[in-house]
Amino acid sequence: MKAITLDSSQDSKLLLTDVQSRALLPGEVRVQIKAAALNHRDEWCRKGLYPNLKDGVVLGSDGAGIVAEIGEGVDYDWLQKEVIINPALNWGANQKVQSEAFEILGMPRNGTLAESVIVPLDRLHEKPAHLSWEEAGALPLAGLTAFRALTFQGDLQAGENLLVTGFGGGVAQFAVQFGLALGARVSTSSSSPEKLERANALGVDFTFNYMDHNWISKAFEETNGFDLIVDGAVGDTLNHLIEVAKPGGKIVFYGATLGNPSKLIARKIFWNQLKIMGTTMGSDQDFINMLSLVCEKRIVPIIDQVFKFDEAEEAFDRMRDGKQTGKIVLVP
């Protein structure tokens, strides 16, 4: 089958090639991919910034498709089902944190940027009926991460003030959409007026351009501070977020694209009783709860652009350059 693999000998570090698919083990299924989507994780694999990288592995964590083959012990009813795939493998029983066996589909295990992917049956969920293939394929990893950040970690309540930084990224767009669906007053920030326009179209309450030196005082005036801030950047902007958090508020971050902060104002954190929390992906229960919300509120992922497999390099470059608003989708 055709698949996009990591190949460090290529300039692009990608190779669209024929990969020999293996036989199914008991309890596994083969899903024929109708649409897959990119995450920063895929780009980090390409940059060599992920641990234990292996050439020849099929990249891709996000995918939706049709069950094409079932392994021993899997009910025949699953055949031909339209499904989306939970890319979080072996989370374990502890809701607070993933187990040591935790793994994400697409490295070191073959992922979704292929004509088909093999996963354990328990990774499958029915495709939400209101979504196209491209929309369903765009949902899993970023949707799961955003949902856990808001709910299990952030305990977001209706009426609370939510700030989602960096609108345009996958997790950020879902955090905005889910935040609105959960009844929060949602603000989002970006350096791009175009991206903030898109956020306004979704119905957010406030947008802030963080290139504006006054954005912190403006945000405080407009919102009186945020109960919850969801961020994927960290770096020295963490201290700005500490400034705009409401006393008693929470900052949940799911990544650190700007790296480590060079300082941290401790006094403000203890006097204001702030919580700074890290989050990664989500548990199986988080995934189930996320799908419920998506179906109940008929939430539709924003698609930035759809590429064919042979345009993979262009798709990855678009993610690397941060040009996208919404998810970058690839179809076989």
Cross-strand bridge partners of residue 166: none
**278 is a site residue for its own copies (CB under 8 A):** yes
Which of 80, 214, 224, 260 binds its own copies (CB under 8 A)? It is 260
Based on CB atoms, which residue is closest to its own copies, 38 or 104?
104
Cis, bond preceding 108 (omega within 30 deg of 0):
yes
Within positions 183 to 202, which residues make up the interface with its own copies, using CB under 8 A? none
Distance from first CA to last CA of the chain, Å, rounded? 10
**68 is a site residue for its own copies (CB under 8 A):** no
**274 is a site residue for its own copies (CB under 8 A):** yes
Q: Which stretch binds its own copies (CB under 8 A): 178-186, 273-281, 288-296, 308-316?
A: 273-281
Which regions of the chain does DSSP assign to beta strands (E)?
2-6, 14-18, 28-37, 62-70, 82-85, 88-89, 103-104, 116-120, 124-126, 161-164, 185-190, 206-209, 226-231, 245-253, 275-278, 303-308, 327-331
Mapping DSSP to helix (H, G, I), strand (E, B) and coil, where does residue 256 land?
coil
Which of 24, 276, 295, 331 binds its own copies (CB under 8 A)? It is 276
**259 is a site residue for its own copies (CB under 8 A):** yes
Cα separation, 87 vs 287, in Å, equals 10
**272 is a site residue for its own copies (CB under 8 A):** yes
Overall size of the chain counted in residues: 332
**96 is a site residue for its own copies (CB under 8 A):** yes
**52 is a site residue for its own copies (CB under 8 A):** no
Please name the amino acid found at residue 102.
F
Find out whether 328 and 305 touch, Cβ atoms under 8 Å.
Answer: yes
**307 is a site residue for its own copies (CB under 8 A):** no
**261 is a site residue for its own copies (CB under 8 A):** yes
Cβ 41 to its own copies shortest distance, Å: 12
Cα separation, 166 vs 192, in Å, equals 9
Find out whether 250 and 231 touch, Cβ atoms under 8 Å.
Answer: no
Cβ 73 to its own copies shortest distance, Å: 32
Helix H, strand E, coil C: the string for 201-221 is HHCCCEEEECCCCCHHHHHHH
- Give how many residues touch its own copies by CB under 8 A: 35
**262 is a site residue for its own copies (CB under 8 A):** yes
Which of 226, 253, 309, 316 binds its own copies (CB under 8 A)? It is 253
Based on CB atoms, which residue is closest to its own copies, 135 or 227?
227
Cβ 280 to its own copies shortest distance, Å: 6
Which of 15, 181, 277, 300 binds its own copies (CB under 8 A)? It is 277
Find out whether 37 and 90 touch, Cβ atoms under 8 Å.
Answer: no
Which of 116, 279, 324, 325 binds its own copies (CB under 8 A)? It is 279
Q: Which stretch binds its own copies (CB under 8 A): 54-62, 162-170, 180-188, 246-254?
A: 246-254
**98 is a site residue for its own copies (CB under 8 A):** yes
Cβ 256 to its own copies shortest distance, Å: 4
84 Cβ neighbours under 8 A, 6+ residues apart: 63, 64, 124, 125, 126, 127, 128, 136, 137, 139, 140, 291
Footprint of its own copies on this chain (CB under 8 A)? 94, 96-98, 153, 234, 238, 247-248, 253-256, 259-280
